[in-house]
Structure 1
Amino acid sequence: MKVAVTGAAGFVGTNLVNQLVADGHDVVAIDRVSPAHGLDHPQVTWTAADIFDHDALVAAFDGVDTVYHLVAMITLKQQDELAWRVNTQGVASTARAALAAGVRRFVHCSSIHSFDQYTDNGIVDENSARSENPALPVYDRSKWAGEQELRKVIADGLDAVICNPTGVYGPVDHGLSRINGMLRDAAQGRVPLFVEGNFDLVDVRDVAKGLTLAAAHGATGENYLLGGEQVCLFEAMRAVAELCGRFRPLFAVPLRLLNVVVPIAEPISHLFGSDLVSRASIAALVAQPVVDISKARTQLGYEPRPSADTLADLVSFLCDSKQMGSARPRSGRAFESVLPTPVG
């Protein structure tokens, strides 16, 4: 089968292309640049098409059965015009082109952030409130708005399904993503302390598999949460450090202290062009929602792997790809004694 992936050179895109090739598909990989690493399979054809160029996308989708739309701009900022445009109008533009090209199925990779995670009962499922509050970060609001744009095209006849991954981590990642970058630093013994807090993390390879399952079994217009396990980030960092025989973080900083520091540190961080220290980054940890993935399990056959496996595989990948310096992993059995019991 011939399929297309937008944002194919990115973190999720790389793993999705690998999954699709393994499944025997011919892939039209759409991105502004071709990656310098891997993905040179004979089954993969690279196309440098802009998601706002309707004619170029229609041409790229010619003869394609399924389109996977992954292009997104992730930010922790409160306002960002480019992120809003990419995450909303970009979805509409790609979906319209798929409809015009006669694509059979469209799979949109949205995010857990399109759901309001600050729920009273602490549980997020597909029926939870959405990110409509103007006080939420632009990423949260734009991912929900992007889904609304897609539903307009569904109403015009596009057969589309929406997937909502949680915090994505694991191999393969030549980037690195925020989460993988922090875990790499911890594995090198460079993180003396970290904030407390849990978050639902999902292996990027499970996200890729979930997207293909949604293409095969998802119902038109439905959302499917693709989660993994509730992971204590502090303990995960201690785990990867121990796996590499490096200095482990000594203690976790209480979130209540960060709530005092962030109003002062956030403007300074912005002066240096960073959004890492922000109310949004802390709020995500404070919320700590339990993500209910039973819908994806029962309707798609989705089954994520344990976090211990992801952490061990990530460290091995980082070492093999020379992103870890001299740090080398010991036995993966080290994880069993230091990782907390998953919640939810």
Structure 2
Amino acid sequence: MIALTGATGHVGYVLHRYLQKENFDHKVLVRSKTNRLQGVEQIVGDLTHQHSLQQFVNKVDTVIHSAAVVYPRYGECQDVYNVNYICSKNLFDLAKKAGVKHFIFISSIHSMEVPSDGVFDESARLVEDKTISYDYSKAQMERYLNQQEGMKITILNPTSIIGSGDFYFNGFNQLFRLIHSYKLPMLTQGGFDVVDVKDVVKSCIFAVRNEVEGKYILGNTYYSIPEIAKMYGNISQKLITPIELSTSVMKMLATFTDFVDKFSKSPLPTNSYSINTLLELKNPISHQKAVNNLDFNPKVIHNSLQDIHKWIENEEFIID
């Protein structure tokens, strides 16, 4: 039996679908029952609710922990730290006490500091800056797991995840949906190493089936934002001609949005954190360790973008 957190999120939802495909018995932790998750036991609760967590990890062999609070901005945030580290740590402790044999933590490439030069791989230092709340909270959980014994532990560090099955209007999904509706006002410089959610999920399931331990970066190829936007525009047949901002303008925009964000009641679509992330991740990122140990074989981005187009058009989710 597998216990899965975060099943209403992008990675968690696709994991649920593939666990069903592979006939893995599993249950999910949800804040409230949802029709989106069919054919699976739904344990109502959350990471802060001790009783529901005890029920969640009872009679379970493997826990896959993909739930997290994403906080793409600078500044300390106690809620992010509490959920991503304190509550995650508590989940691990309860799982260990319940006799769970394998704990898989879906972390992030952002838990690690970008090297000053050379290849970015699993040897990169974990983030120590507390003012980068999301990155630091993920790094803290990894530090905790690195100290544990008596249970198989797997840490997965995906790069920027794209793909079908994303119900939320943020990140790359926001970019694709704006292109799809002809509402993309501008494009930024910089880019990401992107990986398809299905490739992340398949490696996770491989780790479950083969009891693979260790830490693994799951990435693919670096693309600039204009490159990805153009490719998706061609696939979706949405011709776009947005303004492309220069690096200097982006840095000015970062300063301005950080100031406005202090007075805004809702998060702005960009800030200095997201802009700096776009501009700084230029090191080649190695996923060779995952290739060697997790049967990781990332798909061509063209196929990922076709999947995304079908998903945005009619929520068609193809399991391959």
Aligned counterpart in structure 1 of residue 164 of structure 2, from 160, 165, 171: 171
Per the alignment, residue 310 of structure 2 pairs with 316
Give, as a single letter, the amino acid of the residue that structure 2 aligns with 1:21. Q
Is contact 1:11–1:172 with CA below 8 Å preserved after alignment? yes
User: Residues of 2 paired with 1:194 and 1:250: CA distance?
Assistant: 6
Per the alignment, residue 71 of structure 2 pairs with 75
Per the alignment, residue 330 of structure 1 pairs with none
Structure 1: 5+ residue stretches without partners:
323-344
User: Residues of 1 paired with 2:124 and 2:152: CA distance?
Assistant: 23
User: How far 1:122 sits from its partner (Å)?
Assistant: 4.9
TM-score by length of 2: 0.92
User: Residues of 1 paired with 2:118 and 2:18: CA distance?
Assistant: 33
Per the alignment, residue 269 of structure 1 pairs with 261
Per the alignment, residue 20 of structure 2 pairs with 21
Per the alignment, residue 298 of structure 1 pairs with 292
Per the alignment, residue 151 of structure 1 pairs with 146
Which string of whole-angstrom CA distances, capped at 9 and with x for unpartnered residues, describes residues 302-338 of structure 1?
111111111111011110139xxxxxxxxxxxxxxxx
Is contact 1:187–1:237 with CA below 8 Å preserved after alignment? no
Per the alignment, residue 116 of structure 1 pairs with 113
Cα RMSD after superposing both structures: 1.8
Number of equivalenced pairs = 313
User: Residues of 2 paired with 1:252 and 1:217: CA distance?
Assistant: 46
Is contact 1:269–1:276 with CA below 8 Å preserved after alignment? no
Per the alignment, residue 337 of structure 1 pairs with none
Aligned counterpart in structure 2 of residue 94 of structure 1, from 87, 91, 100: 91
Give, as a single letter, the amino acid of the residue that structure 1 aligns with 2:38. D
Per the alignment, residue 328 of structure 1 pairs with none
Q: Establish whether residue 256 from structure 1 lines up as the match of residue 248 from structure 2.
A: yes
User: How far 1:50 sits from its partner (Å)?
Assistant: 2.2
Which string of whole-angstrom CA distances, capped at 9 and with x for unpartnered residues, describes residues 41-84 of structure 1?
2xx11111222333432222222111101111001222211001
Residue aligned with 1:124, SS: coil
Q: Establish whether residue 58 from structure 1 lines up as the match of residue 75 from structure 2.
A: no
Per the alignment, residue 47 of structure 1 pairs with 43
Residue aligned with 2:176, SS: helix
Aligned counterpart in structure 1 of residue 189 of structure 2, from 196, 199, 203: 196
Which string of whole-angstrom CA distances, capped at 9 and with x for unpartnered residues, describes residues 201-228 of structure 1?
11111111121122334654x2111112
Is contact 1:194–1:249 with CA below 8 Å preserved after alignment? no
Which string of whole-angstrom CA distances, capped at 9 and with x for unpartnered residues, describes residues 249-300 of structure 1?
3452122221122112212134222153222101111112321000000011
Per the alignment, residue 127 of structure 2 pairs with 131
User: Residues of 2 paired with 1:271 and 1:24: CA distance?
Assistant: 49
Identity %: 24
User: Residues of 1 paired with 2:256 and 2:35: CA distance?
Assistant: 40
- The structure-2 alpha-carbon separation of the partners of 1:226 and 1:48, relative to structure 1 and needing over 3 Å to count, comes to same
Structure 2: 5+ residue stretches without partners:
none
User: Residues of 2 paired with 1:34 and 1:291: CA distance?
Assistant: 38
